[in-house]
Structure 1
Amino acid sequence: MSNFNGQVVLITGAASGIGRATALRMAKVGANLALSDINPASLDETRQQCESVSKKSTQQHMASRVDVQSTESINDFVQSVVSRYGTIHHVFNCAGINPTKLEIEQITDAYWHKLMDTNVKSIMTMTRACVPHMSRGASFVNVSSMCGIYPTALFSVYCATKFAVIGFSKCMALELGARGIRVNVVAPGSIDTPTNASVLAGGDRLQQMAEGVGLKRAGTAEEVADVVAFLFSDESRYVNGSVVQIDGGLGLPG
């Protein structure tokens, strides 16, 4: 794996799940972390864990409460990151809201705007804010979902946001590629995180989910973090505009 010593990695949604696992993964390989989430208590736990696994005394980590639905909050955060570190090397747009099963008649304007602002607009806003402070060799990894590839009944708004993440990211891969800035997407399937619906349901629902996966189990947040780290690394320097499915073989026959 490439050396990330001294590189600045910005992560949204870092308080738990995939965001926290990725923060820990990058701390172990020497990155300086700029962590954000709307939950400050859990976010500070992530920062402390990252400090405990950091390999070098020169590593620096910062953590800030950020509401990714707010342009002002994102802009203020990015400015604070640049003021501290002077630059940004990699961005992991991980913040998002998981779906609620709703029929079309049940969807409110408020629900639509909340998911769109959190899952899609936040990525555009963060990208717009960070790009002026990034240079050749930098990269973005944005989180979509298998719901951004396969339509799912009752998850129409969530699917719309995750399809949009892929479309936006591919456009940015073209637009920013000329500057040497790469943009890629991870599309996790069933991952064992605190907000995964199957994990929360447990029992038969969890087993049913596992049976639909080629590997017959849920993935872990750490397995997603490993892919993100690869997409940030020099080993993936010609990977741009890709959507990496991390799903254990979803829908493949056993």
Structure 2
Amino acid sequence: MTLLDPTTHEHPGRVEGARMAVDHPDLRDKVAVITGAGRGMGARFAAALARRGVRVLGADLDESLMGEAAAAIALEHDGLAGAGEVVGTGVDVRDRDAQQRVADLAVERFGRLDLWINNAGIFPEAPAADIPVSQIQATLAINVEGVLYGAQAAASAMAPGGSIVNMASVAAVRVRRGRAAYCSSKAAVAHLTECLAVEYGDLGIRVNAIAPGFVDTEMTRWVQDDPPALAKALDSIPLHRIGSPEEVVGPMLFLLSDSARYVTGHILAVDGGSRHV
């Protein structure tokens, strides 16, 4: 396994991540479901897995967007020997039955289900005193219930050896003003991951989570476009830079792969060390 140097500084505090040349040959020909795969990190995960021969069913609330993402990944991998197919479908992760249909579709289309990434989520903002009922209900329904229903669907179709990875956040252990609904939901995801790992271990299924910090995605654009906020954020990160999406891909591949076959119930922080500051 080799890693390319991901650091080329073209913007203060921002890193343009070179593609990580990480190869886990054990992933080839496996089948993965990724929720929230129409954009952002979900689309990155789908492309990275397909590039390594994984057959991917991407699911998103916006089915049209998911179809466009699948087509873009197919175009990107055109001519790449051994690349896996990416198929798109729609899903509302708040709907338990809909998530089960996604699992069933993966088995129907590809014959099995090995990997599941609970990536779908929202990032609401409001002062704690002003959080409306609709915001907290939607945040918990999507960010927490969506993870539970996804894990239930995955486990129903997986054989022993399956791997589930949830998207938590460094916000699970750090308070961010104006993000109480989001932070509390991600704390719930982290603990839910540990609970699922204990119970699904009986089935031979591993459950882990990734906890990103400041990563160059749509969710952190508000920080990067605000110089004072960016300076404050960089002061809270021991590596003093924003991470690149590719730097989340590598840890995700590790947790899904046999390299982590004795790792379960772990929350892997990918945050430049910010949780310690």
Q: Same fold, TM exceeding 0.5?
A: yes
How far residue 251 of structure 1 moved from its aligned partner, in angstroms, is 5.8
2: CA distance between counterparts of 1:251 and 1:208? 14
Match of 1:11 in 2: 34
Identify the match of residue 43 of structure 1 among 37, 62, 66. 66
Identity value in percent: 28
**C-alpha separation between the residues in 2 aligned to 1:247 and 1:137?**
28
> Offset of 1:65 from its aligned partner?
1.7
CA contact (8 A) 1:22 1:226 kept: no
Q: Partner of 2:273 in structure 1?
A: 249
- Give how far 1:53 is off: 2.3
Deviation of the 1:194 alpha carbon: 1.4
Counterpart of 2:254, as a letter, is F
Give per-residue Cα distances to partners, 1:137-180, cap 9 Å, x unaligned. 11000011111122334322212211111111101111111222
The residue number in structure 2 matching 1:61 is 86
Unaligned runs of 5+ in 1: none
The residue number in structure 1 matching 2:122 is 97
Aligned length: 252
Aligned to 2:137: 113
Equivalence for 1:71: 96
TM-fit CA distance, 1:200: 5.8
Q: Is the deviation greater in 40-49 or in 133-142?
A: 40-49
Instruction: Find the counterpart in structure 1 of residue 24 from structure 2.
Output: 2
Contact 1:22–1:222 (CA under 8 A) maintained in structure 2: no
* C-alpha deviation, 1:123, in angstroms: 0.9
5 Å-filtered alignment, 1:167-246, equals: 167-199=191-223, 201-246=225-270
1:166 is aligned to 2:159:
no
Aligned counterpart, 1:155:
179
Paired position in structure 1 for 2:11: none
Which has the larger displacement, 242-251 or 38-47?
A: 38-47
Q: Is the 1:14–1:35 Cα contact (8 Å) retained in structure 2?
A: yes
**Structure 1: how far apart are the matches of 2:189 and 2:204?**
21
Question: Structure 2: which 5+ residue stretches go unaligned?
Answer: 1-22
Q: 1:236 to 1:58 in 2, by over 3 A?
A: closer
1:238 Cα deviation from its structure 2 partner: 0.9
Task: Pick which of 117-126 and 68-77 moved more.
Answer: 68-77
Distance 1:121 1:94 in 2: 12
Letter in structure 2 aligned against 1:75: Q
Describe the SS at the equivalent of 2:218.
coil
**1:220 partner letter:** S
1:26 to 2:41 alignment: no
AA partner of residue 252 (structure 2): V
The Cα shift of 1:209 comes to 1.5
**Inter-partner Cα distance in structure 2 for 1:107 and 1:227:** 33
Q: What is the deviation of 1:108?
A: 1.6
Indicate conservation of the 8 Å contact 1:193/1:199, yes or no.
no
Amino acid in structure 2 at the alignment position of 1:10: V
**Greater alpha carbon shift after TM alignment, 213-222 vs 74-83:** 74-83
- Tell me which of 149, 152, 160 is aligned to 1:125: 149
1:214–1:248 CA contact under 8 A, matched in 2? yes
Distance change (3 Å), C-alpha of 1:111 and 1:58? closer
Structure 2 residue identity aligned to 1:129? A
Contact 1:24 / 1:49 at 8 angstroms: preserved in 2? Answer: no
Q: Secondary structure at the match of 1:84?
A: helix
Q: Is the 8 A contact 2:38 2:65 kept in 1?
A: yes
**What is the CA RMSD across the aligned residues, in angstroms?**
1.9
User: CA separation of 1:175/1:124 partners in 2, compared to 1, >3 Å: closer, same or farther?
Assistant: same
SS in 2 for 1:220: coil
TM-score for the superposition, normalised by structure 2? 0.84
